[in-house]
């Protein structure tokens, strides 16, 4: 019986046990990733275990992104603890304000994950790594403490769901819409305890940024992880970033799947997830006219150069509605710098947007854009649960960058086609 991509990745990292779907094996990941929101717990657990330090400091990545720049004394102390631990243990991969960004964007950008790779992380959206023909899975702080101390961890190898992309996306349709379409079809638990594997001829229409947007939200369908097939775009990206640790994987022709699905990219337009669930994807026209108080473009799923270029194409020569706050957050410092070189930051500022340094802040209701009672937001983030970005009585609609930017200009949810731009497919091949 053939293997899925997920099985092949886990088998290549197995220390002991049979790395087949449904089986438990001891796995040695390429990267163990912790952040400032739970890193202190991981470090404390290692001390309780009596661990002298990491089994391999070069495989540990520390990222301060949720509360960085520190919003208060408590968060400053947490970041300081993680920073000092990194120095003490000789961990060179420490990223903070000014040299890092949001963890799931930092890893691929720094060449720390790529085809065939495996990362265990302290955040459920570690599955973003799947965009690069890799696998990422979120774990609890105690599990990660063991993984850091031992260099390995037991894990159940997930069964896989196969999703083939076919056709050509309509104008203003992005990776965000693809994943919202899938979650709407299978539900927020439709891939529970499974991996989602993406492939098919339609994959060629998605650049790496778009694939990251899809992979990032696999967990919103209940998936443990996801993996995209490797193609020329993936290989070129890996070469550019310097990833050489592993080889790409491809599914065997007789691989066994829990189920198979086909997504026809030409059968839907831009979607928007109505609160309070990412599974409530619906055509933008169904909620057009809904007034908004805040628009947020950023986060680990949609703070890429592709997203910023799409937003700029809508905002260029226009002004944000005076009743709307537009907050734009590039996912990494490198993306921020590239946006500056391309003049996008000036476009945003001229339009009336507030541009932040990279942070997870507003996405989880931490800081830098928290919503008040009764407020409505359109966001390119990945979750819109009740109270996710602030007050329990606020509402968050999830959408792509074109839809979000159009809402900022119109003051309400609108079809971006009503605000002509130079190229409705801008960013798709950027």
What's the token pair of residue 221? 């369908």
Decide: 230 and 133 in contact? Cβ < 8 Å.
yes
The whole-number pLDDT of residue 177 equals: 98
> What tens digit of pLDDT does each residue of 150-173 get?
999 999 999 999 999 999 999 999
Delimit the domains of the chain by residue range. 5-264, 271-418
Give yes or no for residue 426 having a pLDDT over 60. no
Q: Which residues contact 88 (CB under 8 A, 6 or more apart)?
A: 53
CA distance 304 to 175: 12
Q: Using CB atoms within 10 Å of the CB of residue 48, give its burial: 0 to 12 exposed, 13 to 18 middle, 19+ buried.
A: exposed
Decide: 89 and 108 in contact? Cβ < 8 Å.
no
SS3 call for 388: coil
Q: Using CB atoms within 10 Å of the CB of residue 220, give its burial: 0 to 12 exposed, 13 to 18 middle, 19+ buried.
A: buried
CATH code for the domain defined by 5-264: 3.30.499.10
Task: Give the residue among 403, 398, 156 at the shortest CA–CA distance from 301.
Answer: 398
Task: Give the residue among 165, 126, 173 at the shortest CA–CA distance from 301.
Answer: 126
The whole-number pLDDT of residue 13 equals: 98
Does the fold of domain 271-418 match that of domain 5-264? yes
- Tell me the CB-side half-sphere exposure of residue 44, using CA atoms within 13 A: 8
> What tens digit of pLDDT does each residue of 101-130 get?
999 999 999 999 999 999 999 999 999 999
**Longest CA pairwise span in the chain (Å):** 61
Give yes or no for residue 370 having a pLDDT over 60. yes
Q: Please count the other Cβ atoms lying within 10 Å of the Cβ belonging to residue 29.
A: 26
Give yes or no for residue 428 having a pLDDT over 70. no
* Residue 425 confidence class, pLDDT cut points 50, 70, 90: low
Give yes or no for residue 430 having a pLDDT over 50. no
Decide: 199 and 229 in contact? Cβ < 8 Å.
yes
> What tens digit of pLDDT does each residue of 57-79 get?
999 999 999 998 899 999 999 99
Q: Using CB atoms within 10 Å of the CB of residue 233, give its burial: 0 to 12 exposed, 13 to 18 middle, 19+ buried.
A: middle
* Residue 429 confidence class, pLDDT cut points 50, 70, 90: very low
The whole-number pLDDT of residue 74 equals: 93
The whole-number pLDDT of residue 420 equals: 78
Task: Give the residue among 379, 388, 425 at the shortest CA–CA distance from 210.
Answer: 425
Domain 271-418 indexed as CATH 3.30.360.10: no
Give yes or no for residue 225 having a pLDDT over 90. yes
What's the token pair of residue 360? 């997870």
Token match 């499974």: residue? Answer: 194
* Residue 422 confidence class, pLDDT cut points 50, 70, 90: low
Cα 167 to Cα 87, 262, 389, distances in angstroms: 50, 10, 35
The whole-number pLDDT of residue 342 equals: 98
């Amino acid at each position: 019986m053939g293997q899925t991509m997920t099985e092949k990745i886990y088998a290549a990292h197995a220390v002991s046990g049979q790395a087949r779907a449904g089986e438990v094996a001891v796995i040695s990941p390429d990267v163990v990733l912790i952040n400032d929101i739970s890193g202190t717990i991981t470090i404390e657990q290692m001390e309780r275990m009596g661990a002298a330090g990491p089994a391999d400091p070069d495989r540990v990545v520390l990222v301060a992104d949720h509360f960085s720049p520190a919003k208060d004394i408590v968060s400053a102390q947490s970041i300081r603890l993680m920073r000092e631990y990194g120095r003490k243990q000789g961990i060179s991969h420490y990223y903070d304000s000014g040299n890092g960004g949001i963890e799931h964007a930092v890893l691929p950008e720094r060449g720390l994950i790529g085809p065939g790779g495996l990362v265990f992380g302290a955040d459920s959206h570690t599955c973003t790594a799947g965009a690069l023909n890799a696998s990422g899975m979120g774990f609890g702080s105690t599990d990660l403490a063991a993984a850091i101390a031992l260099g390995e961890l037991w894990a159940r190898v997930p069964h896989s769901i196969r999703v083939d992309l076919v056709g050509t996306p309509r104008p203003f349709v992005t990776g965000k819409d693809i994943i919202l379409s899938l979650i709407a079809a299978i539900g927020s638990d439709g891939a529970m305890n499974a991996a989602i594997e993406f492939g098919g001829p339609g994959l060629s229409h998605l650049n790496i940024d778009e694939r990251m947007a899809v992979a990032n939200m696999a967990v919103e369908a209940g998936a443990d992880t996801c993996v995209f097939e490797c193609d020329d775009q993936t290989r070129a990206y890996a070469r550019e970033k310097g990833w050489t640790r592993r080889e790409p994987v491809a599914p065997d022709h007789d691989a066994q799947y829990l189920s198979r699905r086909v997504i026809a990219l030409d059968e839907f337009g831009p979607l928007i997830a109505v609160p309070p669930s990412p599974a409530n994807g619906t055509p933008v026209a169904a909620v057009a006219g809904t007034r908004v108080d805040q628009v947020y473009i950023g986060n680990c799923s949609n703070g890429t150069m592709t997203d910023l270029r799409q937003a700029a194409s809508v905002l260029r020569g226009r002004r944000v509605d005076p009743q709307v706050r537009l907050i734009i957050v590039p996912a990494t410092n490198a993306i921020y710098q590239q946006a500056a070189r391309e003049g996008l930051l000036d476009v945003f500022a001229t339009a009336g947007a507030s541009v932040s340094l990279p942070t997870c802040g507003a996405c989880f209701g931490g800081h830098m854009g928290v919503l008040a009672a009764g407020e409505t937001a359109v966001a390119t983030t990945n979750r819109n649960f009740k109270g996710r970005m602030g007050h329990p009585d606020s509402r968050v609609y999830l959408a792509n960058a074109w839809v979000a930017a159009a809402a900022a200009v119109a003051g309400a949810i609108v079809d971006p086609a009503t605000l002509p731009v130079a190229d409705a497919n801008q960013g798709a091949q950027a």
